[in-house]
Amino acid sequence: MTDKKTTHTAIDERRRGILKVGAALAGVAAFGGSSMVWASSNEAPAIDKDTLVIGLDKGFVNLNGVVAGTGDSDRYTLQVFDRLFGFDAAGTLQPSLATRYEIAADGLSYTYHLRPSVKFHHGGTVSADDVKFTMEFALDPANKSARRAFFAPYVEAVDVLDATTVRFRLSKPDGAFHNKLAGYLPIIPRNYGSDVPALEFFARSPIAAGAYKVVSLSADGNLLELERFDGYWGPKPAIKRIIFRAIKDASNRVNALLAGEIDLVVGVPAQDFSRLNGAGNFSAVSNPVAAPLMVRPYTTDPQLPLSKVEVRQALNYALDKNAIIKTVLQGIGEPLASGISRYYPYGFDSSLQPYPYDPAKARELLAAAGFSKGFTTKLLISSDNPKEIAEAVAAYWSQVGVIAQIQVVDYATWTIWNDTRRTTPMTVQQVANAIYDPSHPVGGLFVKSGAWSDYSHPEVELLFTEAAHTSDPAGRGDIFRRISRILHDDAAAIFISEIHRVYGRKKNLEWVPTSGTAALRFHEARWV
């Protein structure tokens, strides 16, 4: 009979081995190596049912979920942080740190009633004062929070009514405010037990109220270890320990999974989907993430050809979306019709059809716009996306006389450029689903005030303002369906595909990705 001490020693040895292998893989990836080949075994690898090891495509820069952008924070925040309300697996809002809320008749205040006696990871009790501190932290320009843009135009003040009641006062209505709190405001404690400034402290060692707490983050950001928080107010996860390991090369991630050293990997290349599903003890999972893939044009500069609707429509007609999905995306995707994904709970106009492939129509529209001989332009793409997407787009456009010179920009630089509207004249872009409300892509990409927008349409502006005064999902759905139609007809972007994210996992890991989002959640994961 094996005693408990021996068992824990074996587990610790396995963990140390995983970390060493992960470090080696990350080192190979850092030097661009992709020649490491692991043999797939048909034997079921030994499982430590207390531990889940996840291979990611990039490491961690900032662990403060109030600061980090959605694309970065999606990988860990649902484990570490909790919010007033949260989304279930279907994208429906559910009570979390708060049990109920009220909206004032004029839409200018939201009052939340907190669940009593909820504990932070350091033992403190979650209070209305912490909620106020978190919002004010997000709003402070000095903290450079990626969430600030979603709250600053609306939040006038936060009032602590008592220890378990907090009220947000708005300067103008925001029909998506409740969703935004659920997606963008993970609660952190005002009193966190350190003299280190909050911005610096929470970046590497966040304290929150989620189901897992941070144990350590490596100096290079490539290894993050979490441990189950046994003081969590909700159901306790079955898995005690989660290890995130950055393995930047996609082939190395898949090979590490097949070697049994990683339990689950994200960002599986489309070409490896069938390979994993035929590998005996492994499987691949495709999940639509409501993050439409498009080329976003800069349309407000009259000197650019893209300012003409006929040109934008022509670029849509010139693309064979089905062929791009079949070849570049290996069949994992769906032709995109508008800037609002069909996987949002509401707001997509289901009667819309994607632009068909019609190069003759494209040439006709280009001629009508004064570009019968085409034109030369530039197309930016982040290193986070496969260059083949831009290459396929450029190849199709060249057939109608539009020559697109591709510029690949590293992800960090591209993000800075995109946030400051320097990805002109157009860029390949996706917008993740963080709040299950179409105000996220529309407000970010297609109105004048958007974080990345260089597009404006008078009717969209009016409808978006109307949506700000409408909080019920049915009413918001009707408004955004109208917006979706305009975005399609006006060719607000060159629409390519719905994005399906592919994960690889060991078959005896019971885990289902959350529908409609790329955010990772492991509360219900278990070994079987």
pLDDT of res. 515:
84
Domain ranges within the chain, ordered by starting residue:
4-57+211-287+502-527, 80-184, 293-498
For 396, the token pair is 């199709």
pLDDT of res. 214:
97
317 CB-near residues (< 8 Å, 6+ apart): 355, 356, 357, 358, 359, 361, 362, 365
Pairwise CA distance, residues 152 & 431, whole Å:
20
Listed residue (266, 269, 264, 263) closest to 251, CA to CA:
269
pLDDT of res. 14:
44
For 151, the token pair is 């709250």
Report the SS3 class of residue 435: coil
5 CB-near residues (< 8 Å, 6+ apart): none
* Torsion from C-alpha of 69, 70, 76, 77, nearest 10 degrees: 90
Tell me the H-state helices in 279-372: 309-317, 321-327, 359-368
pLDDT of res. 451:
82
Listed residue (16, 17, 38, 36) closest to 27, CA to CA:
36
Pairwise CA distance, residues 293 & 501, whole Å:
12
CATH 3.10.105.10 fits 293-498, yes or no: yes
The model's pLDDT over 29-49, given as tens digits with 9 standing for 90+, comes to: 332 333 333 334 445 556 789
Q: How many residues does the chain have?
A: 528
Angle between helix 4-30 and helix 250-258 axes, rounded to 10 deg = 150
The model's pLDDT over 467-518, given as tens digits with 9 standing for 90+, comes to: 999 999 999 999 999 999 999 999 999 999 998 889 999 999 999 998 888 8
CATH superfamily of 80-184: Dipeptide-binding Protein; Domain 1 (3.90.76.10)
Pairwise CA distance, residues 283 & 277, whole Å:
4
pLDDT of res. 280:
85
pLDDT of res. 463:
98
Parallel, antiparallel, or unpaired: how do β-strands 223-228 and 212-217 relate? antiparallel
Q: Would you put residue 330 in left (φ > 0), alpha (ψ -120 to 50) or beta?
A: left
Pairwise CA distance, residues 344 & 68, whole Å:
23
Residues of the chain with pLDDT under 70: 1-46
Report the SS3 class of residue 194: coil
CATH class, range 4-57+211-287+502-527:
alpha beta
Beta bridge partners of 125: 119
pLDDT of res. 24:
37
